[in-house]
Amino acid sequence: FKLNHKQALAAAVISLSAFVITPPAIAENFGLSLKASTLGAGIELSAGLAENLNVRVGANYFKFAKTLEEDGTNYDFDLKLNSFTALVDWHVFSGGFRITGGGVLDKNSLEGVAQVSDFYDIGNQTFSQAEVGTLNGLINFRNISPYVGIGWGNMVSGDSNWVFTADLGVIFTGTPRVDLNSVGGTLSNNAVFLAEIAREEQNVANDLDFFKFYPVVSIGMSYRF
Give me the mean pLDDT over the 161-171 stretch.
97
Give me the mean pLDDT over the 8-18 stretch.
43
High-pLDDT (> 70) share of the chain, %: 85
Q: Is 76 among the domain residues?
A: yes
CA pair distance 136, 222, nearest whole angstrom: 41
| CATH code, 38 | 2.40.160.170
Neighbouring residues of 188: CB distance < 8 A, sequence distance ≥ 6: 132, 133, 182
pLDDT grade for 223, boundaries at 50, 70 and 90: very high
97-111 pLDDT, tens per residue? 999 999 999 999 999
Q: Is 206 among the domain residues?
A: yes
Residue 204 pLDDT exceeds 70? yes
- Pair 88, 49: CB distance under 8 Å: yes
Q: Is 13 among the domain residues?
A: no
61-79 pLDDT, tens per residue? 999 998 876 555 577 889 9
Residue 166 pLDDT exceeds 70? yes
Q: Into how many domains does the chain fold?
A: 1
